[in-house]
Chain A
């Protein structure tokens, strides 16, 4: 199989003559560095590790990751407001392992063993050891229920008033002979409006997160950093330059790379990461290159140069990237 390592591509870059364009990837598109790691102004992001997958359940955390860390993840949950569509999904958000590690490294959050932690807390709460925790959890739940109930009552009231207004107008148009009954009707209705609504049961609520159960600002169930997989230097570099990435298998690569938030921009690159001395099969470049060009993206591949003297740790070496685009000559 025809193949070449990344260093040979560097040579090829200078002498290239072929049916595809090879460009050395510089940061011509880089426009904004993501905010630095300094003192976070948000509570630590809790990333739940459940059966080897990394999930975020808190919408505030999702927004922090999106706004300040260039992580958009993948929303995977059914949207309760509209549960029969697949176009727009809801919480939880799934992160790749390297994204989770990146958040931890930047001091923005922690990864928690969610199943273990939950089982422990729930057992405590039901055995009486965690009575205080249970009370706090239930109190918060009740507050939410009351608020929800109030909102519903207000909405009902607003709707009722609107209807009443309409009916009032209609009655004005009608003749006076109905006036007696109509007047009595409206009198009756205003009377009930003044009265407090009859006590109904509070609605039940399923909270999105277990935050009320967990210690505030605590890191219960946190997993030691070294147990988390390292992000590739390639990905770290992309993130550092402000690029957003999403899983890219659907387009035939490792990641789809967006210049910024995918809400506003199309992906520019389809990228794959290799080892510095790893042979890159020509077939990879042809298939991914062609596939990328077909969806108006260029294929980007790169690797991290591993320093021989061991002066630099993994993840700090130079990362070199190339782009391939089909020229169609």
Chain B
């Protein structure tokens, strides 16, 4: 094929890089396209340049680009240089693609950054799905930040955008969906939205509905001359009309208009947008978190708890502290490990509770920025269950590892999320419980476009009393029957116990072995001391 190209001077002229790639998988298809064109002469060149721009070439996968195994280092061979060049050419071909909207899936959006600038957002209510006729509160809409109005809708815009209700009937563009900057940019980027820059006023492009007659149904734009798909094309006058109201923006322009510093109205920071689109590509449903979330840890409880804490601090604790000069453990005969270990616990542990004893404000930038849901059929933008994940986005260069109060401030914005019920009392689920924590929050650390997700959990190690299971399982001691077998060198013993318990989720055998070992070791030691 390459040779054929060389033979044809008309086609060989300016090398459109995509076609210099030797033997790309789509070679046969391209050949037929070329056959059709060969007699068209000079115009064909132009076409070939463009051909790579609009073809989807979906079968060029990551494998084509990363051809073969990676090498350790350059050995200066032609082969190596060729494979690298092939990869680069394939990448160039794929990335040269231009977003194109065909009649049917065309959705157009207009950039009107100032329309909602003065909007004051209060609570909005919607009819509840439940039969009791109660109204439920709509999720916070971030209306002031909505800068792109959608002209129509499609499947890809279904779960995005928000129509602003409670507007006057003669208000232009009433009932239309408005997009947040990240939603608009995400749609533009995935090729589902044609973003336009208006050259006319809002009211001229979206005239108010003529009368109350259209009320109830979504008012369609009456000026059909706006839509390029609905008008007869061909004559140049019509073309002029097509751009009478504005013109389409490039991806670059969309970034320039929609990406901004944190806190700028109608913009979103690049880091947050990268995280947003990363999650959307994965299929998650993502919404901006409301600015002042109602604290999930109700404050009425808090008062009770603090008072209770106050009183309990006055009372002497149940376990008397050991004398300062020791010994840690009162000499005597012990029949259970509980008695021993509870005397040994000197340091007060953090006990997670549904309500924190004192309020902790979140400290920027460690705040909840996005609410994330796993994809589900039932999810809609106005009705959804409580989020699956709470996400904070921070920049790798501009922030440090958060301090204790920053983590707690962040965690307090998330609801109480204790380990699952069925894990309770099951020693095998010890690590599942610890890992889950009692509250958790995700943090996306963005390092120049590379996103690292982290999960912070409020741990409750004090909740997991391992010694309790020594007594419970075996009941009373039955003498050191197998004491000899398990007599081992103490080195690495703790590690082994932990390992044994951890593996317990899968097979009980290992765990029991670990417990036994732990038990025997301690028993022998205590017997020695007593």
From residue A158, how far is it (CB to closest CB) to chain B in Å?
5
Q: Could you give, for residues 242-280 of chain B, a 1 whenever the CB lies within 8 Å of some chain A CB and a 0 otherwise?
A: 010011111111011101110010010111001001100
Q: Are B452 and A80 in contact (CB under 8 A)?
A: no
Decide yes or no whether B56 CB sits under 8 A from chain A.
Answer: yes
Q: B137 at the A/B interface (Cβ < 8 Å)?
A: no
Given contacts A31-B76, A62-B95, A266-B70, contact A96 B448 (CB under 8 A): yes
A-B contact count (CB 8 A): 266
List, in ascending order, chain A residues with CB within 8 A of B189's CB: 77-78, 80, 83, 90
Q: A246, B450: Cβ atoms under 8 Å?
A: yes
Q: A88-B62, A142-B239 are in contact. Are A205 and B51 (CB under 8 A)?
A: no
Q: Does A279 contact B (CB under 8 A)?
A: no
Q: B95 contacts which of A50, A90, A122 (Cβ < 8 Å)?
A: A90
Which stretch (A148-156, A300-308, A313-321) binds chain B? A148-156
A73 neighbours in B (Cβ, 8 Å): 449
A57 engages B252 (CB within 8 Å)? yes
Distance of A309 from chain B, by nearest CB (Å): 33
Number of interface residues of A (CB under 8 A): 88
Smallest distance from the beta carbon of B210 to chain A beta carbons, Å? Answer: 27
Q: Assess the A137–B229 pair: CB atoms within 8 A.
A: no
A205 to chain B, nearest CB (A): 5
User: Of the candidates A63, A115, A155, which one forms a contact with B256 in the assembled complex, judged by CB atoms under 8 Å apart?
Assistant: A115
- Interface residue from B84, B250, B452 paired with A210 (Cβ < 8 Å): B250
Assembly CA distance A85 to B51 (angstroms): 24
Which chain A residue shows the least CB distance to B257? A118
User: Shortest Cβ distance from B393 into chain A, in angstroms?
Assistant: 14
Q: Are B228 and A201 in contact (CB under 8 A)?
A: yes
A residues 85-137 in Cβ contact with B at 8 Å: 85-88, 90-92, 94-96, 114-115, 117-119, 122, 125-126, 134, 137
Contact yes or no, B252 A208, CB < 8 A: yes
Interface of A is mostly: mixed
Q: Does A141 contact B (CB under 8 A)?
A: yes
Residue ranges of B at the interface with A (Cβ–Cβ < 8 Å) = 17, 29, 32-33, 36-37, 46-47, 50-51, 53-58, 61-62, 65-66, 70-74, 76, 80, 83-84, 87-88, 91-92, 94-103, 106, 108, 186, 188-195, 197-199, 228-229, 231-234, 239, 243, 246-253, 255-257, 259-261, 264, 267, 269-271, 274, 277-278, 281-283, 396, 445, 447-450, 452
Told that A208-B252, A260-B73 touch, could you supply 15 new A-B pairs with CB distance under 8 A? A52-B270, A53-B271, A62-B95, A125-B199, A138-B247, A141-B248, A148-B54, A155-B33, A202-B228, A204-B100, A204-B108, A209-B251, A209-B252, A247-B449, A264-B87
A-B contact pairs, 17 of them (CB 8 A): A83-B190, A83-B192, A91-B251, A94-B270, A94-B448, A94-B449, A144-B50, A144-B98, A154-B33, A201-B231, A202-B233, A204-B106, A206-B99, A206-B248, A207-B251, A208-B252, A263-B66
3 nearest A-B residue pairs (beta carbon): A80-B191, A74-B449, A83-B190
